[in-house]
Structure 1
């Protein structure tokens, strides 16, 4: 089964191992605040939970710890990440986690099955995010909730000293759009939920700061592998990324540096008035 949308782990980075570590760092970076916000949105132990776009299993592992009495269904379309998760979670979830390789737009799961669904850093890559949200709506129970955790390229990070990334960011947007993704999906999350017939839509932001968690937590996210892979594939020229790499090296060498990152968390509820 091919990967869906703009992301495929085996071709996204120069090295697959580096990509897996980058994905792990994304989870570690803000898990505590995401968990706090998920509980504030209504996630509770004992619920039947869907994780959409579950990747190599790092976020799944955290959910299993947070919800020791819950059943989890982890849906991932990328065959490489699906296999990674099978290995990573084999001694962590027991029979509480069901791993499925499928498209989130066509899961094959039964109607009205889940109490809560989480889609983390998935919708940014989907060519039809509303269709995916509608599929999740279908398999949620009445009053079930979907939380989408995602980013927006224009509100991704702030650095001190400033790191100029505008040229590469715009090129990255173009490349991702050509593959079916949208790096600015964060600003559309509420609209996506409403178009999929979710009600009680709300939005929160999760902010991580190196002065609190340490600059080391951010370092895997500075990996230039994804951009260099685009150069290798002829999607971005070396001259276009030259200044980006210079600024990255200057930032990495700065003695007094800091960094902030931002995730957006949008929540919608399956209201009875939208049921057939």
Structure 2
């Protein structure tokens, strides 16, 4: 009998995922501090990181504001990783939320800046997710989406079928009422779209 696979394969998978999420390779790909520092975030802003994962963006976001940072992820093990990192860095302004974007309940018009990094291709309804984010944002608040381009030449990243191309994302954002501020290609595979909820 083969006893090699005695440990829980799920745990190993999770550890691998965390290792990947935190890897230097990703740091070189998108230094999170650099990206955050370019964003319209002020010292007293309330921020939300949807699909926070291992806190790749949550931690630098929490360092960039004295306000509250919501870290939302459906996986409570990921949230505990963020909790540990926050403790390590002495950050007390992070609030953990175990939920999906589509059902996220944060008061309407209460958040200044939302980060949605490599999460929108995983939602069950893009329209519902973006509408929810739109409602949570204050008028004048921003949303930064970071996604893989839908380009058959790019192998790395999620399956092509679930990717959201930048044009599709821009259309979806516009149809909900966002105004596109800026679109940036981070590298061959990844782009960002910065959108604003216009003041009425």
Equivalent residue in structure 2 for 1:50, among 48, 51, 76: 48
Q: Secondary structure, in 3 states, of the residue corresponding to 2:151?
A: helix
Greater shift, 86-95 or 111-120, is seen at: 86-95
Matching residue of 1:270: 197
The alignment's TM-score, normalised by the length of structure 2, stands at 0.80
CA offset digits 1:97-134 (Å, max 9, x no partner): 11111111121110111111110010121121121111
Given the alignment of the two structures, is residue 197 of structure 1 paired with residue 195 of structure 2, yes or no? no
Q: Whole-Å Cα distance in 1 between the matches of residues 183 and 39 of structure 2? A: 10
Q: Whole-Å Cα distance in 1 between the matches of residues 152 and 82 of structure 2? A: 30
Say if 1:199 and 1:68 are closer, same or farther in 2 by CA, change over 3 A.
closer
Rg: which structure is higher? 1
Equivalent residue in structure 1 for 2:118, among 111, 118, 121: 121
Say if 1:262 and 1:156 are closer, same or farther in 2 by CA, change over 3 A.
farther
Which structure shows the bigger proportion of residues in helix conformation?
Answer: 1
Given the alignment of the two structures, is residue 31 of structure 1 paired with residue 30 of structure 2, yes or no? yes
CA offset digits 1:169-228 (Å, max 9, x no partner): 89x43xxx5xxxx12444422112112211244311113xxxxxxxxxxxxxxxxxxxxx
Equivalent residue in structure 2 for 1:142, among 134, 139, 148: 139
Say if 1:156 and 1:196 are closer, same or farther in 2 by CA, change over 3 A.
farther
The alignment's TM-score, normalised by the length of structure 1, stands at 0.60
Say if 1:88 and 1:39 are closer, same or farther in 2 by CA, change over 3 A.
closer
CA deviation after TM superposition for structure 1 residue 55, in Å = 0.7
Say if 1:156 and 1:63 are closer, same or farther in 2 by CA, change over 3 A.
farther
Matching residue of 1:96: 93
Q: Whole-Å Cα distance in 2 between the matches of residues 169 and 14 of structure 1? A: 20
Matching residue of 1:133: 130
Q: Whole-Å Cα distance in 1 between the matches of residues 35 and 140 of structure 2? A: 18
Segments of 5+ residues of structure 1 without an aligned counterpart are: 1-9, 158-164, 208-260
Alignment of 1:231-246 (within 5 A): none
* More contact order relative to length (CA 8 Å, sep ≥ 6): 1
CA deviation after TM superposition for structure 1 residue 39, in Å = 4.3
How many pairs align? 191
Alignment of 1:71-82 (within 5 A): 71-82=68-79
Say if 1:80 and 1:183 are closer, same or farther in 2 by CA, change over 3 A.
same
Contact 1:27 1:58 in 2 (8 A): no
Q: Whole-Å Cα distance in 2 between the matches of residues 169 and 142 of structure 1? A: 33
Q: Secondary structure, in 3 states, of the residue corresponding to 1:119?
A: strand
Q: Whole-Å Cα distance in 1 between the matches of residues 194 and 157 of structure 2? A: 27
Say if 1:156 and 1:19 are closer, same or farther in 2 by CA, change over 3 A.
farther
